[in-house]
Chains A and B, each alone.
Chain A
């Protein structure tokens, strides 16, 4: 708490620090960190570091610096945890976040979040086990349609269809013939 006392009076104003606090808190909230004690400790830690940084760059926005610091801190922690779990370090940020999600850190391992370690083996095992694949390895087969003999009725219809497709005027004549015949039939039936 000493750190907060140190930062607040020397900032550009309490509004800046209040915003910095909210942004860092939101950042951790988005990672579903619900433990209030852990959350306040983490936020205080990040803001203290930001305050130190601000001494070197007094014109910078505290809130922006703070959330960058939080981001950096999380990255560093991912690095350590994934390394301890024996996983490769490529694309550390998305890989780390995916591992947290799949190991259900927000519900099962919240106390391990940003902890310096060493971490319990079940936690590291959960991190190791978390992988996501869209499907098993492809085993390619070919589904080839077999030709269907549609029979004489459909063959005639098919021929007619092709003729109509080639000469649309014939199609128009056929439709009008049907229409006129229908009208003629109604006329015949009613007279």
Chain B
């Protein structure tokens, strides 16, 4: 078995890839070791070198993906694509298997969620294959307003698309094990009815054509357990959102080609926009608890990587379908949201340390787990490396000794110590930016590629803006990620938060300062400490301390949609999806921005809990749902709530009391009757305003 695994793992693709990674790591590391050797090797320099080597290996790993991807794309080399298995298939005549499209939601904006479902359902209908697909909106929403809104949106969607029995909605009363538990619950209740499951996020969109293609790929490849698509980030509004979507869209193809080159059937699962073979998933991918307590142990947070590893362990292949173009997601619109998401991911990835050495996992799966850990762990290593560099510089300055370089290996090139140091710095920078350069060359060399980004000149400007933003935010991320890693290791966990979608007006400057004042202080201290060593070190470290010092301002500007819009009007940071919009995206945008009737609003929001009492249709939907999911041991709401609700208004009730009312069909029916037949003077002013708002809404519609 081990031998088989070795043979399988060390295929020609991987030998080429890992050799290149080793080469790209060893070149700067040898130069660095030699530089240290020439300046007299000591214990502290040994540690410094060790950190540099690990960090360079991590950077070179990423750069190798770009180099391999660039070569493959440049010379149009095919290196094993899952998409090739459906070349020449006539999809019209293809008989598909039953597939469930699952969409776990947790207090996300129902309008956006259902706009996505509607556009996907319509896109599927156009393929003529929609009868094979059922949608499942798997709600874990805890907010009573969201819950009622989701139900109304679902009922409306079923009605409008005549999709009764094809679009399902289920809300869990107890959110056991978060998203992984939500999907687990789906599998245990309905998994046996379907052969495949497409997993989506609340902000995911997939075209009907791609959903059909994925199903056909699975049918043609019975040994494949998961096919992951490469979702494109769309709907970026703020500068940060636009930078992210540009980077994902422009650099992505080169990196993904490199990734697919080495991983082949040893791929990874990213938790959404993927198709899964349900029998294999249910048999082998149930997640055990990790030793210890959360956050480091307990329930597995980042379930996707582990599920892919378990799928591989069971003998099924996991592939990346990087060429499918109709797979989309949204990204965070500001640094605060991005970091909140990273905090969650960091905790999940740190848990993978437990699994890294577990028996029976494929080497490829271990590589993915290690890569995930390093994506956050590397920040802490960079921070320690910079501190060590400061200590070395301080020691050198304090000793007031002149360095007399001794002969090293690179003397053959007749390099001075200064020139060698510059060469090391130059190569390190080159490695850091290699992916961006190669993607730009790829864009220039590949015909028409840059056209989708506004032409060669605008693409070049886009790369420059993105690189500048990356330089500014990298030290900020370094500090935050280091903090996340340390706090996870110290046992500080996080709760389950809803990701905010859309940029709104961006962050206020006060909010930005509140969020980043600590980083600002660190930047100030770093600048002061560097200035105490010497002027050279102060300026050498300037990109780091300046970035930290300006963090509140950077975060503020990056969150602004006005800046994003200005760049869009200039044709900068545009992506092909904005110049030639996929119909599925266009319809999602239209449905998302569709104006709802001008019913009563509080602070611009529709009070859906109140509508569940006053609106004849929303009330009827809730009563129906409450009856369908009624539990015999349900707590009955006390009668005084009825009085309080009508006379003191909904605002006086706690969320728990609201939920108690919403779960009781008899109470809902009574409240509806009472509200409409009560003497208006005895009702709270908010109810009167709500009742009168129907007239205003109808007059506006007429």
What is A's interface to B at a CB cutoff of 8 Å? 19, 22-23, 25-27, 29-32, 34, 36, 61, 63-64, 67-68, 71, 91, 93-98, 100-102, 104, 129-136, 138-154, 157-158, 161-162, 165, 175, 186, 189-190
Contacts and interface: CB of A to CB of B under 8 A. Distances in A.
B189 interface: yes
A159 to B, nearest CB: 9
Interface stretch (B82-90, B120-128, B691-699): B691-699
Nearest to A99: B620
B651 interface: no
B27 interface: no
Given A104-B159, A140-B188, A152-B357, A19 B193 contact: no
Nearest to A31: B616
A134 B629 contact: yes
Contact of B165 (A26, A63, A136, A162): A136
Interface in B356-395: 356-360, 388, 391, 394-395
Nearest to B155: A132
Q: Is the interface of B mostly helix, strand, loop or mixed?
A: helix
Contacts of A143: 184, 187-188, 191, 282, 285-286
A82 B620 CA distance: 15
B59 to A, nearest CB: 24
Nearest to B398: A190
A100 B291 CA distance: 54
A139 B189 contact: yes
B350 to A, nearest CB: 13
Given A132-B155, A134-B625, A189-B391, A139 B669 contact: no
Contacts of B433: none
Contacts of B287: 145
Contacts of B676: 27, 30, 67, 71
Contact of B669 (A32, A94, A149): A94
Contacts of B282: 141, 143
Given A26-B691, A93-B669, A135-B189, A98 B620 contact: yes
B158 A161 contact: no
B291 A134 contact: no
Nearest to B186: A135
A139 B192 contact: yes
A11 to B, nearest CB: 16
B292 interface: yes
Given A31-B617, A134-B628, A148-B288, 20 more contacts: A30-B694, A94-B620, A98-B624, A102-B155, A104-B159, A131-B164, A133-B628, A134-B168, A134-B169, A135-B189, A136-B190, A140-B188, A141-B282, A145-B286, A148-B355, A148-B358, A154-B291, A154-B358, A161-B291, A190-B395
Given A134-B629, A165-B293, A97 B620 contact: yes
B578 to A, nearest CB: 34
Contact of A94 (B289, B357, B623): B623
B192 A189 contact: no
Given A27-B676, A146-B288, A36 B702 contact: yes
Given A29-B695, A102-B159, A158-B291, A64 B679 contact: yes
Contacts of A136: 134, 165, 168, 190, 193
Contacts of B698: 29, 32, 34
Nearest to B599: A30
Contacts of B293: 165
A162 B290 CA distance: 12
A143 B175 CA distance: 17
Nearest to A100: B617
A132 B680 contact: no
Contacts of B193: 136, 139
B680 A63 contact: yes
A40 to B, nearest CB: 13
A165 B701 CA distance: 64
B6 interface: no
Interface of B: 44, 134, 136, 155, 158-160, 164-165, 168-170, 184, 187-193, 282, 284-289, 291-293, 297, 310, 353-360, 388, 391, 394-395, 490, 614-617, 619-621, 623-625, 627-629, 665, 669, 672-673, 676-680, 691-692, 694-695, 697-698, 701-702
Contacts of A61: 679
A154 B134 CA distance: 41
Given A34-B701, A104-B159, A150 B621 contact: no
A30 B691 contact: yes
Contacts of B184: 143
A147 B287 CA distance: 9
Given A135-B168, A141-B282, A150 B620 contact: no
Of B165, B353, B619, B677, most A-chain CB atoms within 10 Å: B677
B355 A67 contact: no
7 contacts: A93-B673, A96-B620, A133-B165, A145-B288, A150-B355, A151-B358, A189-B395
A16 to B, nearest CB: 11
Contacts of B190: 135-136, 138-139
Contact of B680 (A19, A30, A152, A190): A19
B164 to A, nearest CB: 6
Contacts of B627: 91
A171 to B, nearest CB: 9
A174 to B, nearest CB: 12
A94 B168 contact: no
A132 B415 CA distance: 78
Given A30-B616, A161-B297, A150 B625 contact: no
A133 to B, nearest CB: 7
Contacts of A138: 189-190
B357 A153 contact: yes
A149 B394 contact: no
Contacts of B616: 30-31, 97
Nearest to A97: B620
Of A31, A94, A162, A165, most B-chain CB atoms within 10 Å: A94
> Which 3 pairs of residues, A with B, have the shortest CB-CB distance?
A97-B620, A158-B291, A151-B357
A135 B187 CA distance: 13
Nearest to A68: B677
B168 A133 contact: yes
B618 to A, nearest CB: 9
B122 to A, nearest CB: 17
A21 to B, nearest CB: 11
Contact of B192 (A63, A97, A141, A153): A141
Given A29-B698, A133-B165, A189 B44 contact: yes
A165 B665 CA distance: 46
Contact of A161 (B159, B292, B358, B615): B292
Contact of A157 (B159, B191, B354, B623): B354
A135 B170 contact: yes
Contact of A26 (B169, B188, B692): B692
Contacts of B169: 134-135
Nearest to B698: A29
B617 A29 contact: no
Nearest to B285: A143
Nearest to A150: B358
A30 B692 contact: no
Contacts of B358: 148-151, 154
Contacts of A64: 677-679
A97 B395 CA distance: 81
Contact of A144 (B286, B360, B388): B286
Contacts of A30: 614-616, 676, 691, 694
B164 A132 contact: yes
B582 to A, nearest CB: 29
Contact of A151 (B165, B187, B359, B490): B359
